[in-house]
Amino acid sequence: MKRNSKDESRDRIRDNLRRVYDELVAEPVPPALLDLLKKLDDRENGS
């Protein structure tokens, strides 16, 4: 099927969105967030 400009626009938006999102997902999780989970664990365990 012949592709038109709308297809091209759609593909570019999809690709850009995924690249942005994937880059955000790939960022390292800040230690503070992991520390928070440890604190919640400790509180749960009464330590």
Partner 1 sequence: MTSAAATPNVPPAVRDEIIGLLPNLRAFARTLTRNVTLSDDLVQDTVVKAWSNIERFELGTDLRAWLFTILRNHYYSLRRKYRREVEDVDGKFSNLLATQPAQTVATDLLDFWRAFAKLNDEQREALTLVGASGFSYDEAAAICGCAVGTIKSRVNRARSRLAEQLNFPHQGTTTGSEADTIAGSRANVPFAPPR
What DSSP character marks residue 42?
Answer: H
CA dihedral sign, ordered 38, 44, 45, 47: positive
Residue 2 Cβ, how far from partner 1 at the closest point, in Å? 14
Site for partner 1 in 3-42 (CB under 8 A): 4-6, 8-27, 29-30, 32-34, 36-37, 40-41
The span from the CA of 37 to the CA of 43, in Å, is 10
Q: Could you tell me the smallest distance in angstroms from the CB atom of residue 1 to partner 1? A: 12
The site for partner 1 (CB under 8 A) is made up of: 4-6, 8-27, 29-30, 32-34, 36-37, 40-41, 43-44
